[in-house]
Structures are given as structure tokens and as C-alpha cells.
């Protein structure tokens, strides 16, 4: 079952994210985003199986800067599935659902930094195709910066993604 997270899920979400990434950074990022003005509660989802959280995804806002103009854009981060449930479609279900909900909320596009082998199956393409750049860590290939246009997308929406302060904790 996919549903919005509740406060009762917070500890289980922390554990799933920590286990999925094998470190605390992304789990702490979830907490930082949740307490920020960029947080979009309708776009934080969990998958429940046998009464337990086994997957989590969050979409919040970042800013797109271009020629002094700034626009809010949706950013998908992080996506996590409990290691015992990976490879079973849990992450795919979360990505499809959160993108559909972002579209329903009128978001023009969703950007992310992620695996170029994983996200294209959902319609994500290199962000540069849309005139969008994301700051990437040195180890990430340029193709890791991706975007998916939604119903409200307009081609004039281009520029450089600036992550919100909550992302400062991510290496």
C-alpha cells in the first residue's frame, strides 16, 4: 500500500533510509527537509507491507535560477527501499506515484540526482536536454542530473538548480 507518511512513520522511515544507503546522511536529510519551508507533505510517501514501512520517497522544492529569476521546482530526494525488499518493484511504485502526485499538484517538472540506469524507465531524461543544470558531486556522471517534464511544464523553465539549505548536510 502506498500512502502519505504520518508522524507515526518517522522512526521507521529513518531506519529504512539509513539501511538503504548504509549511512545516516540521507536519513538526516529527510528530517532536515521535513522541518524546512521547502517541504511538501503531500509528496512524502511510504509503502507499507505487513504493517511495516518498507519504502519511502520525498519530493520537496528547490529553486531554479536564471538571469536573476527564480522558480520553485520539485526535486525527488531521497528514494529508499529496505534492503530486504529491493528489486521487487517497491521503488518503481514510489517513483511513479510521487511523480503522478506532483503532476496533480501542478508541478511543472521533477528534477533529481540519481542513477542514469534506473530513472529513465520512468521518463526521466538528462536535465541538460531541458536547459537545466544541477550541482553534482565529483563522483557522479553528468547523466545523473535528470528531469521529467509534467503537464504544467513550459520550455522557458530553464536554469541552474539551487538546492535548499536542508541539502547542506549531504556530502
Residues 6+ apart with CB under 8 A from 83: 19, 20
| Domain limits for position 86 | 2-169
Task: Convert 92-112 to b/e letters by CB count within 10 Å (16 or more is b).
Answer: ebbbebbbebbbeeebbbbbb
Is a pLDDT exceeding 90 seen at residue 168?
Answer: no
85 pLDDT tier (thresholds 50, 70, 90): very high
CATH classification at residue 77: 3.40.630.30
Tell me, yes or no, if the pTM score tops 0.75. Answer: yes
- Domains of the chain: total: 1
SS3 state of residue 82: coil
Q: What is the pLDDT of residues 88-128, one digit of tens each?
A: 999 999 999 999 999 999 999 999 999 999 999 999 999 99
Element (H, E) at 101: helix 90-104
Measured CA to CA, the distance from residue 31 to residue 118 in angstroms comes to 25
More confident residue, 169 or 164: 164
Task: Name the nearest CA neighbour of 106 among 42, 15, 45.
Answer: 42
Q: Does residue 170 surpass a pLDDT of 80? A: no
Inform me whether the pLDDT recorded for 131 exceeds 90: yes
Amino acid at each position: 500500500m502506498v500512502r502519505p507518511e504520518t508522524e507515526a512513520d518517522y522512526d521507521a522511515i529513518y531506519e529504512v533510509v539509513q539501511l538503504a544507503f548504509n549511512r545516516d546522511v540521507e536519513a538526516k536529510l529527510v528530517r532536515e527537509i521535513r522541518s524546512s519551508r521547502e517541504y511538501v507533505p503531500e509528496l512524502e510517501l511510504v509503502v507499507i507491507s505487513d504493517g511495516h514501512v518498507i519504502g519511502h520517497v520525498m519530493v520537496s522544492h528547490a529553486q531554479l535560477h536564471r538571469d536573476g529569476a527564480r522558480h520553485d521546482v520539485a526535486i525527488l530526494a531521497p528514494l529508499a527501499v529496505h534492503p530486504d525488499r529491493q528489486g521487487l518493484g517497491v521503488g518503481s511504485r514510489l517513483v511513479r506515484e510521487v511523480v503522478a502526485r506532483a503532476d496533480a499538484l501542478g508541478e511543472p517538472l521533477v528534477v533529481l540526482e540519481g542513477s542514469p540506469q534506473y530513472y529513465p524507465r520512468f521518463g526521466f531524461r538528462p536535465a541538460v536536454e531541458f536547459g537545466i543544470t544541477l550541482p553534482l558531486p565529483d563522483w557522479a556522471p553528468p547523466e545523473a542530473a535528470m528531469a521529467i517534464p509534467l503537464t504544467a511544464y513550459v520550455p522557458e523553465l530553464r536554469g541552474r538548480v539551487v538546492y535548499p539549505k536542508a541539502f547542506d548536510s549531504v556530502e
